[in-house]
Structure 1
């Protein structure tokens, strides 16, 4: 297991370790080694070399700030969880690029037809994915407003979007900027549907926003941790707490749970010695794996578009924030037809 278990930045995911151990606790011959990438590129490469030197059969990867899988790809070691979308050894549970497509689709599903986007200056390549998703459902992007990372006043950006007639706004900023944008949008005097992805509007940010976040649309590619009535989320929590009762239930814990379940399914279909090659073959052969509804049944079927070839979880789901909690709005929707379009 590789992940930013500790980090100099606020985002770290120690919870991914007990989750994976809990899922695979029924495999007595499986030993799970862990490596802390510590939020740095150098730390990640140390972990990659450790995996290669120890001749591991595969890597379950939690969130990592810096990710260059070149060494693991060259060694043929499968990487499951937070991994890239194109490497032949990658089995990404969640794709950030695909999630931006889902954000566009998700906002269109609310009934909005005129989209504005406020985003971090220089990230147009991501914003184009939001536009692609939104316009695939018949809507139109009417304006986009880039803002600097240290922008103190987002009112001009908001005025640009509302002036163009936007009735919904996608927010793609770092969490602190997203909080500023939400405040400015609420103060605009316009009735707007506002949306973002769960990686930005995370639990910590939602908690700090309080009632200001009510009505916000949060788009995800797996069930939200607030969806506690869902059997799948209860299963994630039970597996994690079978190892450590203090495990925090987060989005990254859910991603690690899915990754470990996929590895477990692959191990059941592997005979003889488990090697990187045999585990990769088994992971590539997964078909209709039941993941307790946390995501739709998994099939490792590559997409035709080389930019998204290894995106196997090509689904989005909408949640609306109410009283600080995410409330599910509808079922999973499949964005594979959009991702197949070059």
Structure 2
């Protein structure tokens, strides 16, 4: 089912369903509502998410909780230096009984795919995700295979043991709609986490908040949220500002994904139209990872903040 053919629902119903998804994920993830909302608006905007964080902060649980909450399938790929592209996408296997080759799907064939520690795999293996993330398909031995709908990659990476990791190329970074982090919980949140997992982990009993068809309707409804011309022009001025003040600014793809993320934010707030606040709330997690300032004195995050504070809303 393509986005254009998916059945839509009214914004009020979709917003209520979206809030149920957020609250359901919060049964597993404590104290990170802002990040949960960012992941959800990425899913609603047909985007992928990169999570930068240290080990043990709940990245895997977050991904599993989202897959369960939308009634979708989940798979996990542990990226390692010896991982091959076929370990991600799948491989053709010879069937001796029939004398033919049959395609065996890789873990990328799921609604939510967790690419754990993606920066531990060499560039050739990382690139196995590029076609999947951009086209929702993979090509193996010249044959194209469509991925499930919806399809979202939630990839994780950390900066620990940098000598054993590979930097993600810009072509891959640019395919992630958002780059977020969870961070350590505060003491009260950590105490609540311990209370929740002292017996069974809450993920084991987590039921879907919506079924997959309802989530597809939510996503199709988000795609129809209105973005008027002044709003679109505001987005182009923001991305143009980053290009004028950095060695490498935000790409046209970044502008498209920023609008889609803003549509998801508007839907989450129960609106049929995007307002500038939707853009400014999403820009800090959509734009910085695509920008290279060329200066150690100014970060990409600081440049995006400067753009939001400087570029006029007309």
TM-score where L is the length of structure 2: 0.30
Bigger helix share: 2
